[in-house]
Amino acid sequence: MSIPAKIIELDIAIIGGGSSGMALATRLNGLSATVFEPKTAAERDCCWAFWAHPPQLKEFSQSIQGSWDRWRIIDHNDEIIHHSNQYRYTCLSAKKHLEHCETNLKKSTSLVRSPVENLVPKGNGGQFNANGQRYSAKTIYDSRPPTMAENSLRQHFLGWEISLKEPMENADIATLMDFRVDQSRGLHFIYVLPYSDRHLLVESTMISTQLEDKGWYRNAITGWLAEHNIQVKSQLREEYGVISMATEQPYNPEVNNIGANGGAVRLSSGYAFSTIQRQMAELAQSINAGQRNVPKPFSRLLMFMDKVFNRALNAQPDQGVSFFMATAKALNAEQFSLFMLGDAGFLEWAKVMQAMPKWPFIKSALSQIFSHD
pLDDT confidence of residue 313 = 83
Residue 56 lies in a domain: no
Detail the DSSP E strand segments found in 62-132. 64-68, 70-74, 79-83, 88-93, 109-112, 117-122, 125-130
200: in domain: yes
User: For the chain, where are the alpha helices, taking DSSP H only?
Assistant: 19-25, 54-59, 94-103, 214-227, 273-288, 300-315, 320-330, 333-341, 346-355, 358-369
Nearby residues of 95 by Cβ (< 8 Å), 6 or more positions away: 41, 42, 44, 45
Judge whether 33 and 113 are in contact, CB under 8 Å.
no
Cα separation, 343 vs 335, in Å, equals 9
Residues 135 and 188 in one domain: no
Q: Are 92 and 46 in contact (CB under 8 A)?
A: no
- Whole-angstrom Cα distance, residue 322 to residue 34? 47
257 shares its domain with 201? no
Tell me which residue of 30, 9, 264, 276 sits closest to 139, measured CA to CA: 9
Strand, helix or coil for residue 177: strand
Q: How far apart are CA 305 and CA 307, in angstroms?
A: 5
Domain tally, the chain: 3
Residue 54 lies in a domain: no
Mean pLDDT for the stretch of residues 196-205: 98
Q: Residue 2: pLDDT above 70?
A: no
Output the domain CATH number for residue 196. 3.30.70
Asked whether residue 20 falls in the same domain as residue 132, the answer is yes
Instruction: Return the pLDDT at 307.
Output: 87
**3-class SS of residue 319:** helix
pLDDT at 344: 87
The 10s digit of each residue's pLDDT in 123-157 is 999 999 999 999 999 999 999 999 888 888 899 99
- Sign, CA dihedral 216-228-176-357, equals negative
Query: Residue 53 falls within a domain, yes or no?
Result: no
Q: Rounded to the nearest 5°, which phi and psi values hold at 277?
A: -60, -40
Three-class SS of residue 345? coil
* The residue type at 212: E
Residue 276: closest CA among 11, 21, 64, 30? 21
Residues 31 and 101 in one domain: yes
* Band of residue 361 on the pLDDT scale cut at 50, 70, 90: confident
Task: Classify residue 86: in a domain, yes or no.
Answer: no
Same domain flag for 254 and 193: no
* Residue of 264, 249, 252 whose CA lies nearest to 294: 264
Check whether residue 231 and residue 189 sit in a common domain. yes
200 and 266: one domain? no
Q: How far apart are CA 4 and CA 18, in angstroms?
A: 27
pLDDT in tens, 9-48: 999 999 999 999 999 999 998 899 999 999 999 999 999 9
Q: Read off the pTM.
A: 0.92
Q: Does residue 79 form part of some domain?
A: no
Q: How, if at all, do strands 174-178 and 154-164 pair?
A: unpaired
Residue 120 maps to which CATH number? 3.50.50.60
Range of the domain at 363: 300-369
Q: CB-based contacts of 172: which residues, under 8 Å, 6+ apart?
A: 68, 70, 194
Final residue in a domain of this structure, among 232, 263, 288: 288
Q: Would the pLDDT of 5 be above 80?
A: no
- 154-196 pLDDT per residue, tens: 999 999 999 999 999 999 999 999 999 999 999 999 999 999 9
pLDDT digits (tens, 9 = 90+) for 105-126: 999 999 999 999 999 999 999 9
Same domain? For 141 and 277 the reply is yes
Do 38 and 125 fall within a single domain?
yes
In this predicted model, what pLDDT tens digit does every residue of 36-84 receive, in sequence order? 999 999 999 999 999 999 999 999 999 999 999 999 999 999 999 999 9
pLDDT tens, 269-278?
A: 889 999 999 9
Residues 326, 339, single domain; the answer is yes
Q: What is the pLDDT of residue 366?
A: 86
Q: Strand 256-257 vs strand 133-142: parallel, antiparallel, or unpaired?
A: parallel
Is the domain of 39 the same as that of 131? Answer: yes
Chain-centroid distance of CA 159 in Å reads: 15
pLDDT for 272: 92
What's the CA gap between 26 and 3, in Å, rounded? 31
Asked, for residue 18, whether it belongs to a domain, the answer is yes
pLDDT in tens, 209-257: 999 999 999 999 999 999 999 999 999 999 999 999 888 888 899 999 9
Give the alpha-carbon dihedral of 80, 85, 88, 89, to 10 degrees. -10
Query: Which of 288, 318, 340 is the last residue before a domain boundary?
Result: 288
Within-domain flag for 331: yes
Do both 35 and 141 map to the same domain?
yes
Which tens digits make up the pLDDT trace of 288-332? 999 999 999 998 888 888 888 888 888 888 889 999 999 999 999
Q: What pLDDT sits at residue 273?
A: 95
Cα atoms found within 13 Å of the Cα of residue 124, Cβ hemisphere only: 13
More confident residue, 73 or 369: 73
